[in-house]
Amino acid sequence: MAEKVIKRPDSMYSEFARKGGAAPTATHYCPGCGHGIIHKLIAEAMDELDIQDRSVMISPVGCAVFAYYYFDCGNLQVAHGRAPAVGTGMSRARDDAVVMAYQGDGDLASIGLNETIQTANRGEKVAVFFVNNTVYGMTGGQMAPTTMIGEKTVTCPEGRTAEQAGYPLHMAELLNELKAPVFIERVSVSDIGHIRKAKKAISKALKVQKESKGYAFVEILAACPTNLRQSSEESIRFINNQVEKEFPLKNFRDISDCTVPLFRGASDFSKKSLDNIFNLEKDSSLDSVDTPNFGDIGIKIAGFGGQGVLSMGLMVARAACDEQYHVSWYPSYGPEQRGGTSNCSVVISGEAIGSPIVYEPDILVAFNQPSLEKFASDVKKDGVIIYDSTVGNCDHIIPEGIKSISVPATKIAMDAGSKKGANTAMLGIMLATGRTKLPPEAFNKALDETFINKPKLIPLNKKVLNAAVKWAEKNIK
Amino acid sequence: MATQLIKGNTAVIIGALYAGCDCFFGYPITPASEILHEASAHFPKVGRKFVQAESEEAAINMVYGAAAAGHRSMTASSGPGISLKQEGISYLAGSELPAVIVDIMRAGPGLGNIGPEQGDYTQVVKGGGHGNFKNIVLAPNSVQEMCDMTIQAFDLSFKYLNPAFVLSDGVLGQMVEPLKFPEKSISPEPDESWAVCGNAETKHNLVSSIFLDFDQLEEFNFQLQEKYDVIQNSEFDYEEYKIKDASIILVSYGISSRICRSAVDVARQDGIEVGLFRPKTLFPFPGKELLELARSRKCTFISVEMSNGQMREDILASIMYSRPVELVNRMGGNIVTLDGVMKKVYEVADREN
């Protein structure tokens, strides 16, 4: 039999330089506390599994806030309860890292309960070591979510009652309801026999990480003689006789043998891949250029939701973009959308655009009467109002001296074979008026781009556009 | 050179991808959700990492985890979500971690509504969370800048190991303009001098914000302030529009500054000498430049913002209360109007003549 030398594991610093002080080999933990034992078990397991270099230990808020004093591996210290979320970020960024979150009962089961459950539920590649000593430690002995009925703490001085504070949370059982976790076990470090079993569970949880298999959870019942006002012996008896009854020790789950490793793959940072995502080679315009003499054209398009108001605006914007003008499109959102009306502003300009919201349109396109009523009086004196003739006679709404065109947009579209093409018909009328100063090719190209994913609609919409232009040539004087 | 018509919220993710952002963690909230949608659509296509977090707190702490690994990571939200993230942002600043946070501001306080506002100025520009820290804050006013400033935010946050914000609003998020795509993409490498990467090279690194010793923590706080001084002196940025002869100077950022640009043109048609000073960085605030303007001429400033005058306080302090600083503001989801700005311009012009 080989001689066994009991020594400090390599994964634990031999001197705790980060702690400082007069006793560089003593921990900051109280006598009889379970943390020191648990730290050593984790470090031993790290040695045995040869994962020290890959390991990242996440220290919580609580007594183990200084876990980074002790573990000779990459260390993070994080906000109260957030260790599993931080672990998620670390694990996603570093697929190879062995990520450990070390948390107490307040941290894990109270303020961080959401992160705890969700991280387990996503099956993150994180080993969570949950030290349950039924009481808050660092903050001074307050009731924990795991404090037992009748147990006295600073904030339940007469003992916890169910009426006042509900029942202790059973985290291992709770997490065992989830599908994703690979390994869940509850152990204790009350005495030698228990410590041996705890070591096995901790090793297993880390082996799951070493093999990239997913989430592992080890709940460790430990003593807090200081805050529970117990001697070391009393604290051991307390765990063995009372805590274990409330929180039975057992393996809840181990599906590591039938779990396949999860590798998330490397990130691709090449420009070519990104250009492909956005289809830059085929679908891009030339950059906008300044054409100072062009001036500004403000367009307001308004109607009921579903009438293609916003998409018509985008089509105009596309046409302007293709012609290398500066252009902006802005949809109203928020209160104005209530009641089913919507509108958008399009500004076409030869220079950098100021307000993207059009207050005084050069062109108003109104698909319904409320829109006409709302915006007609804003139209510039030399502007034009184009409205759908199904609105009826609106002469009383059109301000005096403003040119208006009543267009049977729906009929033009229907006659050309499109049920939904009233907005394209309006686009054709707008083109025909010449007020946008954009050429017909730009509008046709805009249709190509708009329906790039529904190519059948391209010829149909072009037909509507042309029909509208013809209607305009015939009917607009 | 490639240009496409792009929505502001989408431009953020385009910027992030070309900036080498490796991880996006977010939680849905209107009007910032489209950033989350775009990230979920595009990040996996290039093996970048995307997680829809269970909460805003979880999202910012996932960012903390990836940032601690030295990777480029980000999150995006809107007012109420930013409030929730403040804990994590303080930890990022305290641990000197680089990360980008995008705030598409909506109207508050409380649940408010989803309309645009600029009421997060104070909580973002002044730090917001606990402790003596500041965020680097960039304020885009176009779709192009939504993309470009996201890239710049990554560069600055890594240069100074400090969280950087892109502070935008619901209008900029929703509007569509031509976007000139970035001409290069960045392939970042973690800085192993401080990052914790889960490898032998970085195993002695520690990412932490705890200093038990009062004097040590005080020293760290002073070091942070020195860092902010360097940022203040070297990274401020602003844009001037027709300011040279202006006796009325509009000061405005984000979407409000776009309305102001139109107001300058309208006022000048009426013969009123109005100019626009637009801070592009809110921390560092270009206060010295404002002070120089204030000293260079008799003038009146008008702070134009969609808040209760949060930036106005910085203007007043910058110019040492040496000139009047009027306020034109809207709140509750309403956008500053051209009429509203012009009314104040005429009022000031009448008073001065």
Q: Which residue has the tokens 């192993």?
A: B192
Q: State whether residue A452 sits within 8 Å of chain B by CB.
A: no
CB within 8 Å of A410: residues ≥ 6 apart: A388, A390, A422, A425
Q: State whether residue A25 sits within 8 Å of chain B by CB.
A: no
CA angle B85/A122/B56 to nearest 5° reads 10
Interchain contact, B178 vs A266, CB within 8 Å: no
CB within 8 Å of B117: residues ≥ 6 apart: B79, B105, B106, B107, B108, B169, B170, B306, B307, B331, B332, B333
First to last CA, chain A: 108
Interchain contact, A274 vs B339, CB within 8 Å: no
Which site among A88, A290, A323 would you substitute to test the B interface, given the most B Cβ atoms closer than 10 Å to its Cβ? A88
Contact A317, A448 (CB under 8 A): no
- Of residues A449, A302, A440, A451, the one with CA closest to residue A365: A302
pLDDT of residue A6: 74
pLDDT of residue A341: 78
Which residues on chain B are in Cβ contact (under 8 Å) with A89?
23, 25, 61-69, 73
**Mapping DSSP to helix (H, G, I), strand (E, B) and coil, where does residue A459 land?**
helix
Q: Which of B113, B207, B335 sits opposite A76 (nearest CB)?
A: B207
261-320 of B, contacting A, C-beta below 8 A: 261-265
Which residues on chain A are in Cβ contact (under 8 Å) with B25?
88-89
B305-353 pLDDT, tens digit per residue, is 999 999 999 999 999 999 999 999 999 999 999 999 999 999 999 998 7
In this structure, which CATH number among 3.40.50.970, 3.40.50.720, 1.10.10.10, 3.30.70.1140 belongs to the domain B3-234? Answer: 3.40.50.970
Query: With bands split at pLDDT 50, 70 and 90, how would you rate the model's confidence at A263?
Result: very high
What is the Cα Rg of chain A in Å?
Answer: 35
Interchain contact, A359 vs B337, CB within 8 Å: yes
Domains of chain A: 35-254 (3.40.50.970), 289-475 (3.40.920.10)
Q: Which of B4, B23, B53 sits opposite A278 (nearest CB)?
A: B4
Interstrand relation of B281-283 and B136-138 (parallel, antiparallel or unpaired): antiparallel
Which residues on chain A are in Cβ contact (under 8 Å) with B42?
277
ipTM value for the complex: 0.97
Which site among A212, A269, A345 would you substitute to test the B interface, given the most B Cβ atoms closer than 10 Å to its Cβ? A269
Domains B3-234 and B238-352 share a fold: yes
Interchain contact, A92 vs B14, CB within 8 Å: no
Interchain contact, A85 vs B170, CB within 8 Å: no
357-396 of A, contacting B, C-beta below 8 A: 357, 359
Interchain contact, A327 vs B64, CB within 8 Å: no
Interchain contact, A284 vs B2, CB within 8 Å: yes
Which residues on chain B are in Cβ contact (under 8 Å) with A68?
206, 208
38-77 of B, contacting A, C-beta below 8 A: 42, 45-49, 51, 53-55, 57-59, 61-69, 71, 73
Interchain contact, A97 vs B337, CB within 8 Å: no
Q: State whether residue B20 sits within 8 Å of chain A by CB.
A: yes
210-229 of A, contacting B, C-beta below 8 A: none
Half-sphere exposure of A31 (CA within 13 A, CB side): 5
Q: State whether residue A77 sits within 8 Å of chain B by CB.
A: yes
Instruction: Quote the DSSP letter at residue A243.
Output: I
Q: State whether residue B163 sits within 8 Å of chain A by CB.
A: no
For residue B63, the chain A residue with the least C-alpha distance is A89
254-273 of A, contacting B, C-beta below 8 A: 264-271, 273
CB pairs < 8 Å spanning A and B: 261
- Residue A360 C-alpha, separation from nearest chain B C-alpha, in angstroms: 10
Residue A348 has pLDDT above 70, yes or no: yes
For residue A88, the chain B residue with the least C-alpha distance is B62
pLDDT of residue A335: 53
Which residues on chain A are in Cβ contact (under 8 Å) with B184?
271
CA angle B255/B261/B266 to nearest 5° reads 135
Q: Domain locations in chain B? A: 3-234, 238-352
137-166 of A, contacting B, C-beta below 8 A: none
How many C-beta neighbours within 10 Å does residue B194 have?
A: 17
How many C-beta neighbours within 10 Å does residue A309 have?
A: 27
Cis, peptide link before residue B178, omega less than 30° from 0: no
Interchain contact, A89 vs B335, CB within 8 Å: no
pLDDT of residue A2: 65
Q: State whether residue B324 sits within 8 Å of chain A by CB.
A: no
Residue A355 has pLDDT above 70, yes or no: yes
A202-261 pLDDT, tens digit per residue, is 999 999 999 999 999 999 999 999 999 999 899 999 999 999 999 999 999 999 999 999
Angstrom distance (rounded) from CA A1 to CA A229: 43
Q: Can you give A278-297 as a three-state secondary structure string?
A: CCCCCCCECCCCCCHHHCEE
Which residues on chain A are in Cβ contact (under 8 Å) with B46?
267-270, 273-274, 277
> What proportion of chain A, given as a percentage, has pLDDT over 90?
89
Which residues on chain A are in Cβ contact (under 8 Å) with B59?
85
- Residue A149 C-alpha, separation from nearest chain B C-alpha, in angstroms: 31
Contact B137, B125 (CB under 8 A): yes
Angstrom distance (rounded) from CA A436 to CA B111: 41
- Top CATH class, B238-352: alpha beta
Estimate the share of chain B in helix, then strand, then coil, as percent rounded to the nearest 5: 45, 20, 35
Q: Which residue has the tokens 């003739």?
A: A389
Angstrom distance (rounded) from CA A362 to CA A62: 65
Which site among A12, A54, A61, A92 would you substitute to test the B interface, given the most B Cβ atoms closer than 10 Å to its Cβ? A92
Interchain contact, A115 vs B61, CB within 8 Å: yes
Question: How does pLDDT run along chain B (353 residues), one tens digit per residue?
Answer: 699 999 999 999 999 999 999 999 999 999 999 999 999 999 999 999 999 999 999 999 999 999 999 999 999 999 999 999 999 999 999 999 999 999 999 999 999 999 999 999 999 999 999 999 999 999 999 999 999 999 999 999 999 999 999 999 999 999 999 999 999 999 999 999 999 999 999 999 999 999 999 999 999 999 999 999 999 999 999 999 999 999 999 999 999 999 999 999 999 999 999 999 999 999 999 999 999 999 999 999 999 999 999 999 999 999 999 999 999 999 999 999 999 999 999 999 999 87
- Residue A136 C-alpha, separation from nearest chain B C-alpha, in angstroms: 19
- Of residues A209, A42, A95, A66, the one with CA closest to residue B199: A95
Interchain contact, A94 vs B69, CB within 8 Å: yes
Angstrom distance (rounded) from CA B353 to CA B348: 9
Cβ-in-10-Å burial (0-12, 13-18, 19+) of A369 comes to: middle
Burial A283-307 (b: 16+ CB within 10 A, else e): ebbeebeeeeeeebbbbbbbbeeeb
Which residues on chain B are in Cβ contact (under 8 Å) with A87?
65
Query: With bands split at pLDDT 50, 70 and 90, how would you rate the model's confidence at A477?
Result: confident
